[in-house]
Structure 1
Amino acid sequence: MRVPQIVAFLALMLVFEQSIAQKKDLNILIIHVDDLGASDLGVYGSDFYETPNLDRLAAEGMLFTQSYAAAAICSPTRAALLTGKYPARLGITDWIRAKFQGYSTSGKEGEYEIFEDRPMKTPKIQGYLPLEEVTLPERLQSMGYRTLHIGKWHLGEEGFHPEDQGFDINIGGNDLGQPPSYFDPYISSNPNPHYVIKNLPARQEGEFLTDREGSEIINFIQNQENRFFIHWAPYAVHTPIMGPEDLVKKYQNKQPGIQRNPTYAALIENLDQNVGKVISKLDQLGLRESTLIIFTSDNGGLVGNPDNPVTVNLGLRSFKGYPYEGGIRLPTIVSLPGQIPGGASSDIPIITMDWLPTILDFLETDSNVGDGQSLKSILLDQGQLPERDFFWHFPHYRGADVLPYSIIRSGNYKMIYYFDGEGVELFDLVSDPQEKENLVNQLPFLVSEMKSKLERWWEKTNSRLPVLKEN
């Protein structure tokens, strides 16, 4: 063998060995924030909130501009992330009520909620993530990963908590959808024995909850000898909206933009600070280049009181809980230095279910599972994916103006189908990103085609559907 051939062979072997080492040593950190809106980070165009650490993370990795939650509310998206499946396939299509709330909307398939003043009865939901589902942490445990869940869980009561679904350690996760308080000892002003964060005993009065989460993660990381998977699901930035006093004062003295809530701004900046602390620890330990970081949210930003909004989803229509882009579009950043190019951006539509196959693909194991697609080729090579349709399903009445609906996005078009006779909305998201012009009358054939796709998807996923009440 000639010298140039030997050099080429050795170089090829070095690349192969590096690939094996990267696969062997890859750690995974998912930061799955609660209620963070699509424009709530500086890098995504916020006109008020400051997020220097997350902006830096985007500069070191890839930012997605058309990233979708699996649902416009939390529990369904969380179930989708852990299983890679559409919420409709799991029967978890609404947020799961916690025990302290004293009522339930959960039930078996074929059971319904009935409203006196509504024309349809709507299906009850699966009230927990079934143990039969093979979750991402269970898959990683089988590969030798040490697994940590920290923060919000919201996928069932006792017996269905993180430690029952593949996590070696659970700090803070139970049936709660929001914290009683953000300040240690994390107790509500109206105490309830069921309204308590699990495995998070008081340790320093007044310590802010997201600071505590960040501290616990750092403690976990620096005591690991094996590969690890961390599912960090901050209770931030969900209600009750609270923030560290110094940061609240900072934003009270700052010129507001369209976004203008100083306490919410403090809550976001505190989250950003803790993301920065965790990344700094990874750097100090020499783990940054072997840790895949996925930062995303579970649904769009919450408006709350329109006269004093929690946040504003700049450039998008509506907010959490609604079928418009403001309810389902997310900020999403992915970083793996040395492999994912820094400062990259992708406008390819993606969705929550994609993260499970993406992680499995990075680990070079079977990624053909669930309803998502691996994004590895996009992340490493800025490649493309075959065009696909996206679906959402919320067959419930909620509040005065949320009607049972399903959504399909096909290419640039998005159709919202309302079950109770309120009609159909069709939007071109490229020419009309704020969903102002309903094209249903101009494009009746497209509406018919998309409705047929939706019906086939309902059947494929065994979706629970609302039905008209009998007279």
Structure 2
Amino acid sequence: MMAVASNVDAANGTGQQNSTQQNKRPNIIFFLVDDMGWQDTSLPFWTQKTHYNEVYETPNMERLAKRGMMFTQAYAASVSSPSRCSLITGANNARHRVTNWTLERDKSVDFPSDVVNCPDWNINGVSQVEGTPNTYVATSFVDLLRQNGYHTIHCGKAHFGAMDTPGENPTHWGFEVNIAGHAAGGLATYLSELNYGHKKDGTPTSLMSIPGLEKYWGTGTFVTEALTKEAIGALNKAKKYNQPFFLYMSHYAIHIPVDRDERFFSKYVRKGLSDKEAAYASLIEGMDKSLGDLMDWVDKSGEADNTIIIFMSD
């Protein structure tokens, strides 16, 4: 599902574009949510509200939709790697041949079967250079933006290429800034109390441990909020560069594990949801708060008339 809001002014009061407006390229914020279903929102993507639309609270998705347009017939692949490989390369699944999620180099994640022979798919994901087997090689649209004057920022989940391949690192795809992106497509935990999946000495406890957020360890900051704070910090810096920016805001939410975001959890328990259902709802509303915080930044920074915001789930 996807909602798009564009506040780019086309003309001045006289109905004529001046040269400054014509030459000013819009900022772009691409807000991507992981594993979100089309009913996991208070914003209906159908002709009427469903039961789940009544349960969840996503006021900022509603706010975004009122300022832009909604696409209600869009769909994505059922697994995150194929969707994200399509996004970064512009190629569909049949062409890039990434058909399942990727993680470790040269290792398939397909379950063995006595009935079906699994295809020889691109288990290492996508790459921007030749030389790695089982990858699809392509140029990233992000690199094209960077080459044309955009400051490019990646924040959150990447999942473009397997570990120890050129595709694993967002900076290889043209992102000048990478916040917490790596080869893994999930996360060990959302909780800072568990150091987002690290021991106290910094050793990762799993391949899903989120890198680069050490300053939030033990602070009680849910990872969705930590990523949002880091993204806003990067935008504050980008504002000083006097060039358009592209922010790829790629949340780990609402992927498992279904940890409680305590900022919103109790509200949904009071609504009658079970603890697990309330935790899931809190993940959704925490993601929505992040969207609102970024929209607030755009408004307060004076960039609202020159920023396009695109919201999508993988």
TM range (shorter): 0.7 to 0.9
Partner residue of 2:251 out of 234, 237, 257: 234
Letter in 1 for 2:29: L
Match among 185, 191, 203 for residue 183 of structure 1: 191
Which position in structure 1 is the counterpart of 2:3? Answer: none
Between the two structures, name the one with larger relative contact order (CA 8 Å, sep ≥ 6).
2
The equivalent residue for 2:178 is: 170
- The 3 A distance-change label for structure 1 pair 255 and 66 is same
Q: Does 1:292 align with 2:302?
A: no
Aligned partner letter, 1:97 = L
Q: 2 CA distance for matches of 1:114 and 1:233?
A: 28
State how far apart, in whole Å, the 2-side matches of 1:125 and 1:68 are.
Answer: 22
Query: Equivalent residue for 2:65?
Result: 58
* Cα distance in 2 for residues equivalent to 1:82 and 1:116: 31
Are the aligned partners of 1:188 and 1:195 in contact in 2 as well (CA < 8 Å)?
no
Secondary structure in 1 aligned to 2:152?
A: strand
Map 1:207-218 → 2, pairs under 5 A: 207-218=221-232
Q: Which residue of 1 aligns with 2:107?
A: 104
Structure 2 alignment gaps of length 5 or more: 1-12, 130-137
Partners of 1:75 and 1:104 lie apart in 2 by 14
Q: How many residues align?
A: 274
The Cα of 1:294 is off from its aligned counterpart by 0.4
In the superposition, the TM-score normalised over structure 1's length comes to 0.54
1:30/1:295 contact within 8 Å kept: yes
1:122 partnered with 2:127 = no
The offset of 1:193, in angstroms, is: 5.9
State how far apart, in whole Å, the 2-side matches of 1:247 and 1:168 are.
34
* Map of 2:271 onto structure 1: 254
Quick one: which amino acid aligns to residue 34 of structure 2?
D
The letter of the residue matching 1:146 is H
Q: 1:198 and 1:191, CA in 2 relative to 1: closer, same or farther beyond 3 A?
A: closer
Give the match for residue 38 of structure 1. 38
Aligned-partner Cα distance in 1 for 2:128–2:120? 21
Where does residue 82 of structure 1 map in the other structure? 88
Contact 1:34 1:235 survives alignment (8 Å): yes
**CA separation of 1:254 and 1:290: change in aligned 2, threshold 3 A:** same
Q: Could you say what the CA RMSD is over the residues aligned between the two structures, in angstroms? A: 2.5
**Equivalent residue for 2:132?**
none
Alignment counterpart, residue 275 of structure 1, candidates 270, 273, 291: 291
Question: In the TM superposition, what is the alpha-carbon distance from 1:139 to its structure 2 partner?
Answer: 0.7
Q: Confirm or deny: 8 A CA contact 2:196 2:217 kept in the other structure.
A: no
**Tell me, what secondary structure is at the counterpart of 2:260?**
coil
**Could you list the per-position Cα deviations for residues 278-307 of structure 1 after superposition, in whole angstroms to 9, with x for gaps in the alignment?**
110111110112111000010xxxxxxxxx
1:366-417: CA deviation from partner (whole Å, max 9, x where unpaired): xxxxxxxxxxxxxxxxxxxxxxxxxxxxxxxxxxxxxxxxxxxxxxxxxxxx
1:123 deviation in Å?
2.2
Q: 1:325 aligns to what?
A: none
1:136 match: 141
Whether contact under 8 Å (2:188, 2:209) holds in the other structure is yes
SS in 2 for 1:231: strand
What is residue 406 of structure 1 aligned with on the other side?
none
Distance of 1:194 and 1:94 partners within structure 2: 17
Q: CA deviation at 1:11?
A: 5.1
* DSSP 3-state at the match of 2:72: strand
Q: Structure 2 CA distance, aligned partners of 1:41 and 1:125?
A: 33
The aligned amino acid for 1:221 is L
Q: CA offset at residue 16 of structure 1?
A: 5.5
Q: 1:198 aligns with which of 211, 215, 218?
A: 211
Task: Output the CA distance in 1 between the equivalents of 2:111 and 2:294.
Answer: 47
Name the CA distance, whole Å, in 2 between partners of 1:243 and 1:173: 22
Q: 1:65 to 1:198 in 2, by over 3 A?
A: same
**1:397-408 counterparts in 2 under 5 A?**
none
What does residue 93 of structure 1 align with? 99
Q: Contact 1:90–1:126 (CA<8 Å) still a contact in 2?
A: no
Cα distance, 1:105 vs structure 2: 0.7
How many angstroms does 1:256 deviate by? 4.8
* Contact 2:188/2:206, CA 8 A, preserved across alignment: no
CA shift for structure 1 position 104: 1.7
Residues 75 and 92 of structure 1 are in contact (CA less than 8 Å); yes or no, is this contact kept in structure 2? yes
Q: What one-letter code is carried by the residue in structure 1 that aligns with 2:128? A: L
Native 8 Å contact 1:114 1:120 kept in 2:
no
- 1:65, CA displacement in angstroms? 1.1
Question: Structure 2: how far apart are the matches of 1:139 and 1:246?
Answer: 39
Structure 1 residue runs without a partner (length 5+) = 1-9, 107-112, 299-471
Partner Cα distance (1:31, 1:17) in 2: 30
User: For residue 192 of structure 1, what is the amino acid of its counterpart?
Assistant: T
Which letter does structure 2 place at the counterpart of 1:200? Answer: L
Deviations 1:428-454 (A, max 9, x none): xxxxxxxxxxxxxxxxxxxxxxxxxxx
- Report the alpha carbon displacement of residue 255 of structure 1 after superposing the two structures with TM: 3.8
Deviation at 1:125, TM superposition (A): 2.5
Q: Is the Cα contact below 8 Å between 1:27 and 1:229 reproduced in 2?
A: yes
Distance in 2 of aligned mates of 1:290 and 1:28: 9
Alpha-carbon distance in 2 for matches of 1:116, 1:186: 34
Give the 5 Å matches for 1:406-425. Answer: none
Asked if the contact 2:253/2:287 (under 8 Å) is kept, the reply is: yes
Q: Distance in 1 between matches of 2:260 and 2:55?
A: 15
